[in-house]
């Protein structure tokens, strides 16, 4: 499975007990949705290759989960995966409706400003900083648009558009460079 066909569910933070259990944090609003998982992909820290793991048992409490993988039977084996990320195929995401969206869905969609009209395509979403940013190509320039409710008013799934009201001067900051 390629990482592009997956989403990050969370990450492994530590071990529990002596039989190879791992503690994980699920980065989702609906952790209970994943209580029946049979397998996950793990991206070991420092690696670029997803490793499949079959789940013997999973216990979820809030955003934390305790995983017992078939392949791990000792604490030492489990320690090797602390700090790793957990992934699932995109088709396991719960469906969203209305104006809700997943960040990865927006890539390739058109940004449409309420005053200026269609501006450009979303090339990526940067969620690695405190402020999530839409990255848009506009007149061969990379434009960063804060993804917050003051600027992004919604989405049109049918037309694949992100509806925005850009602050005055935002585009000018990038075009004047």
**pLDDT score recorded for residue 129:** 81
Is residue 23 pLDDT above 90, yes or no? yes
Given 2.40.128.30, 2.40.30.60, 3.40.50.2300, 2.30.30.60, which CATH number is that of 3-92? 2.40.30.60
**pLDDT score recorded for residue 42:** 97
pLDDT digits (tens, 9 = 90+) for 120-149: 999 999 987 889 999 999 999 999 999 999
pTM above 0.75, yes or no: no
Say which CATH topology domain 103-175 has. SH3 type barrels. (2.30.30)
Starting at the edge strand that comes first in sequence, how are the strands of the sheet with 141-146 ordered?
A: 141-146, 133-138, 117-126, 110-113, 161-164, 152-156
pLDDT digits (tens, 9 = 90+) for 62-115: 999 999 999 999 999 999 999 999 999 998 988 777 777 888 889 999 999 999
Q: Which residues of 133-143 are buried (b: 16+ CB within 10 A; e: fewer)?
A: bbbbebeeeeb
Q: Which of 21, 36, 16 is nearest to 69 (CA)?
A: 21
Domain ranges of the chain: 3-92, 103-175
Percentage of the residues of the chain whose pLDDT score is greater than 70: 99
pLDDT digits (tens, 9 = 90+) for 147-170: 999 999 989 988 999 999 999 999
CA distance 107 to 59: 34
């Amino acid at each position: 499975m390629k990482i592009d066909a997956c989403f990050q569910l969370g990450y492994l933070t530590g071990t529990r007990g002596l039989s190879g259990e791992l503690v994980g944090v699920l980065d989702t609003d609906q952790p209970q949705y994943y209580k029946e998982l049979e397998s996950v992909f793990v991206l070991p820290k420092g690696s670029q290759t997803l490793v499949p793991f079959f789940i013997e048992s999973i216990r979820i409490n809030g955003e934390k989960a305790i995983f017992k993988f078939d392949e791990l039977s000792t604490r030492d084996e489990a320690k090797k995966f602390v700090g790793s990320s957990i992934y699932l195929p995109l088709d396991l995401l719960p469906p969203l409706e209305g104006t809700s969206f997943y960040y990865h869905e927006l890539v390739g969609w058109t940004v449409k400003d309420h005053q200026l009209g269609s501006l450009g395509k979303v090339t990526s979403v940067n969620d690695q900083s405190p402020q999530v940013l839409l990255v848009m190509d506009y007149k061969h320039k990379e434009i960063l648009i804060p993804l917050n409710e003051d600027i992004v008013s919604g989405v049109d799934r049918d037309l694949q558009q992100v509806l925005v009201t850009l602050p005055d001067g935002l585009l000018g900051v990038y075009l004047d460079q």
